[in-house]
Amino acid sequence: MTHDSSATDGATDETHTDTISEYEAQLNAVLEDIDETPADESDVSLELPTLGLNRRDFMKAGAAAGMMGSLAGCTSLAGSTNSGSENTPHSSSGDVPSHFVPPGEHDEYYGFWSGGHSGDIRIYGLPSMRELTRIPVFNPEQAKGYGFDKKTSDMLEEAGDYTWGDSHHPSLSETDGKYDGEYLYVNDKAHGRVARVNLTYFETDAITNVPNVQSVHGCCIQSPDTEYVFANSEFRTPLPNDGRDINNPDKYVSLFTALDPESMEVLWQVEVDGNLDILDTDKDGRWAIASAYNDEEGLEIEEMTKNDRDFVKAFDVPAIQKAVDAGNYKEVNGVPVVDGTRESSLNKGDNPIVRYIPTPKSPHCVEVEPNGKYAMVAGKLSPTVSIIDIEKLGSASDPKDTIVGQPKLGLGPLHTTYDGRGHAYTSLFIDSQVVKWDIETAVNSPKKSEDAILGKIDVHYNPGHIQAIQAMSTEPTGDWLVVLNKLSKDRFLPVGPIYPDNDQLLYIGNDKDNETGGMELVSDHPVYPEPHDAIFASKDKISPAKTWDAADYEGEKEYVKESNSRVERIDDETVEVYTSVKRSEYGLRDFTVKQGDEVTLTATNVEGSQDIVHGIAIPEHNVHLALAPQDTRQATFTADKPGVYWIYCTYFCSALHLEMRSRMIVEPRE
């Protein structure tokens, strides 16, 4: 690496303007002056009104307010438990806690919404339902610079270079059946991918483009210890889909895929009959249960729905792993594919690797209840939910004997959730209702009986997923439930022909002998299209970092200090630019490159204070980096137009945010 002096380097500490030094000196003085407030916490001020002396009072007031805020936060934290209801103020009706979270206080729960075809994960606080942030996953996104820096753009490119995805099913990693706050996994229905979000940094850190599949729909971790991540391919395609068998639909297949949750590599796949749909696992690490439709293996809707039956598939995971370990597979595109079709030799005998369980046609979903006893398969086209006794999966000689109950609940049952008190809640898409029912009563009643129904409540309108707090883990809290309604119609001000969805919050903490079984509609929340599912965890389970830790990327990327800000010319057409970033200034006040240079910019936000994010925008070059404190990001671009380009900061970071500027000078190449 040569250091070529023809590229100029604007980083000299002596050139600091008086304004900046004065500003910093005054800021430091003010900070020192504020008693008992750690500088790191108090210097978060985005709006110093002027550079005059009244800043001192302003800062003091700000710090005091901040401390009161955090004290209030502590109080509510100290008294809170998983139930989330003890210390929430009560509404006038007396027994439904308020979902209102006063200014400065925090919610009890995190909610992770899949964004659907917006491709992201959205974070809400519950019960307030305030949107806290979004995590771009399959979609490049400017505000967080996702898909703009080298790390995330390389990741998106390697995962197929698509600019969108369709995220449906978020699943939180577990240890011992409890959410451990490490990762969230989510599918991409559009391109057959599975992504992982790191819940320390709330950032997508891996995307796997699953070979041999076109769409991934069902997606979940294996309970109780996240040994695998599972993914269902919904569409049946030739194997491999490379032009063979295009006119031979009999040969199209649907695959169940296992990934390694750490490396995100595909471990193996299982070929089955029919389409796979949605997925959940038992709580003991043995069974993965997939709903399914189109056992007819038809190509068009009339064929797909011809028969009265479809078959839920229960995958015996240890048995499949054994078959793989024994070499009992064919390899397709580098992946071991195990034959799990009905005709497979592995399905003959007493211990089939896949059990085919007959249910009424086209069931939509499967959700295992928190104690792991039953899996509920909602009918969609049938008004029933089929209750599978998980213990019987390994013992029943006839798979249909694993169905131990089939209550008739209403029209269009899609998804089911739980309160941990023995009740299930099922969304009724066609009826636009949620039905609450008693699980043991349903098991003990004749099939198609309505005896188990405890109440119904109208929702607005046409619910898909419903989800109660921590209902996918072994620790349901039984207080709040969210209904993800597909249509909002008349519920909000009209906003043109594409409407928001309507997520409704229900309180389910009171079991009552009334029309709704105690369910109470608490609030409406318009949401941008189109979330499918959500998963909720107590705030105690999630510990996000407040700043980056440079140790996490040591060896991968340089931590660029102010004193190291520099330009290095690698060869005649390649330049590396390194700059620190902090409030109001870039380490490089300017830098010069030559027309046609490929420029790799490496930038570190050297701030230690939380919430002081800076941006680097280079006009006319499609460059934007978002830099959280202690983070380093890189961007590579070609400086192909001679001229002067003002680099500016996109995050409003201080009173001198607008003046925070650097200059890229591109010299013409003769």
**Footprint on this chain of ligand K7E (rule: CB under 6 A):** 168-169, 217, 278, 364-365, 414-415, 464-465, 532-533
Residue 606 binds which of ligand CUA, ligand K7E, none (CB < 5-8 A, kind-dependent): none
Burial class from Cβ neighbours inside 10 Å (0-12, 13-18, 19+) for residue 342 reads: middle
Q: Which residues contact 103 (CB under 8 A, 6 or more apart)?
A: none
By CB under 6 A, name the binding residues for ligand CUA.
Answer: 614, 649, 651-653, 657, 660
Among candidate residues 536, 502, 503, 504, the one with its CA nearest the CA of residue 519: 504
Q: How far is the CB of 145 from ligand CUA (least distance, A)?
A: 13
Q: How far is the CB of 656 from ligand K7E (least distance, A)?
A: 47
Other CB atoms within a 10 A radius of the CB of residue 397 amount to 7
Q: How far is the CB of 666 from ligand CUA (least distance, A)?
A: 23
Q: In this complex, which beta carbon is closest to ligand K7E, that of residue 88 or of residue 359?
A: 359
State the DSSP string of 498-523: SPPEEEEEEE-----SSTTTT-EEEE
Residue 414 binds which of ligand K7E, ligand CUA, none (CB < 5-8 A, kind-dependent): ligand K7E
Residue 651 binds which of ligand K7E, ligand CUA, none (CB < 5-8 A, kind-dependent): ligand CUA
Structure tokens at 469: 């707090």
Q: At what angle do helices 18-33 and 55-78 cross, to 10 degrees?
A: 50
How far apart (Å, rounded) are the C-alpha atoms in residues 254 and 340?
10
Exposure on the CB side of residue 77, measured as CA atoms within 13 A = 12
Q: How far is the CB of 278 from ligand K7E (least distance, A)?
A: 6
Q: How far is the CB of 279 from ligand K7E (least distance, A)?
A: 10
Q: How far is the CB of 280 from ligand K7E (least distance, A)?
A: 11
Q: In this complex, which beta carbon is closest to ligand K7E, that of residue 380 or of residue 557?
A: 380
How far apart (Å, rounded) are the C-alpha atoms in residues 647 and 631?
19
Q: In this complex, which beta carbon is closest to ligand K7E, that of residue 254 or of residue 604?
A: 254
Q: In this complex, which beta carbon is closest to ligand CUA, that of residue 454 or of residue 612?
A: 612
Q: How far is the CB of 466 from ligand K7E (least distance, A)?
A: 10
Q: How far is the CB of 647 from ligand K7E (least distance, A)?
A: 42
SS3 category, 567: strand
Q: What is the dihedral of CA 574, 580, 585, 589, to 10 degrees?
A: -30
Q: In this complex, which beta carbon is closest to ligand K7E, that of residue 234 or of residue 339?
A: 234
Q: In this complex, which beta carbon is closest to ligand K7E, that of residue 485 or of residue 580?
A: 485
Residue 653 binds which of ligand CUA, ligand K7E, none (CB < 5-8 A, kind-dependent): ligand CUA
Q: How many residues does the chain have?
A: 670
Residue 649 binds which of ligand K7E, ligand CUA, none (CB < 5-8 A, kind-dependent): ligand CUA
Burial class from Cβ neighbours inside 10 Å (0-12, 13-18, 19+) for residue 79 reads: exposed
Among candidate residues 442, 435, 498, 506, the one with its CA nearest the CA of residue 469: 506
Whether residue 240 has a cis bond before it, omega within 30° of 0: yes
Q: How far is the CB of 45 from ligand CUA (least distance, A)?
A: 13
Structure tokens at 568: 């290095």
Q: In this complex, which beta carbon is closest to ligand CUA, that of residue 368 or of residue 649?
A: 649
Q: In this complex, which beta carbon is closest to ligand CUA, that of residue 289 or of residue 612?
A: 612
β-strand partners of 270: 256, 338
Structure tokens at 157: 């490119």
Residue 533 binds which of ligand K7E, ligand CUA, none (CB < 5-8 A, kind-dependent): ligand K7E
Residue 614 binds which of ligand K7E, ligand CUA, none (CB < 5-8 A, kind-dependent): ligand CUA
Structure tokens at 580: 């620190």
Among candidate residues 482, 528, 520, 530, the one with its CA nearest the CA of residue 503: 482
Q: How far is the CB of 464 from ligand K7E (least distance, A)?
A: 3
State the DSSP string of 328-378: -SEEETTEEEEE-STT-GGGSSSS-SEEEEEEESS---EEE-TTSSEEEEE
Residue 626 binds which of ligand K7E, ligand CUA, none (CB < 5-8 A, kind-dependent): none
Longest CA–CA span in the chain (Å) reads 87
Q: How far is the CB of 285 from ligand K7E (least distance, A)?
A: 23
Q: In this complex, which beta carbon is closest to ligand K7E, that of residue 239 or of residue 472?
A: 472
Among candidate residues 210, 257, 207, the one with its CA nearest the CA of residue 229: 257
Q: How far is the CB of 379 from ligand K7E (least distance, A)?
A: 13
Q: In this complex, which beta carbon is closest to ligand CUA, that of residue 31 or of residue 613?
A: 613
Q: In this complex, which beta carbon is closest to ligand K7E, that of residue 277 or of residue 607?
A: 277
Residue 419 binds which of ligand K7E, ligand CUA, none (CB < 5-8 A, kind-dependent): none
Q: How far is the CB of 331 from ligand K7E (least distance, A)?
A: 30
Q: How far is the CB of 649 from ligand CUA (least distance, A)?
A: 3
Residue 169 binds which of ligand CUA, ligand K7E, none (CB < 5-8 A, kind-dependent): ligand K7E
Q: In this complex, which beta carbon is closest to ligand K7E, that of residue 99 or of residue 465?
A: 465
Q: In this complex, which beta carbon is closest to ligand CUA, that of residue 156 or of residue 647?
A: 647
Q: How far is the CB of 617 from ligand CUA (least distance, A)?
A: 10
Q: For residue 418, report the phi and psi dihedrals to the nearest 5 degrees.
A: -140, 155
Residue 465 binds which of ligand CUA, ligand K7E, none (CB < 5-8 A, kind-dependent): ligand K7E
Q: In this complex, which beta carbon is closest to ligand CUA, that of residue 107 or of residue 585?
A: 585
Residue nearest to ligand K7E (CB): 464
Question: DSSP state, 191?
Answer: T
E strands, 420-472, in order: 423-428, 433-438, 453-458, 463-468
Burial class from Cβ neighbours inside 10 Å (0-12, 13-18, 19+) for residue 93 reads: exposed
Q: In this complex, which beta carbon is closest to ligand CUA, that of residue 538 or of residue 580?
A: 580
Q: Which residues contact 95 (CB under 8 A, 6 or more apart)?
A: 510
CA angle (26, 32, 36) in 5-degree steps: 145
How far apart (Å, rounded) are the C-alpha atoms in residues 560 and 8?
18
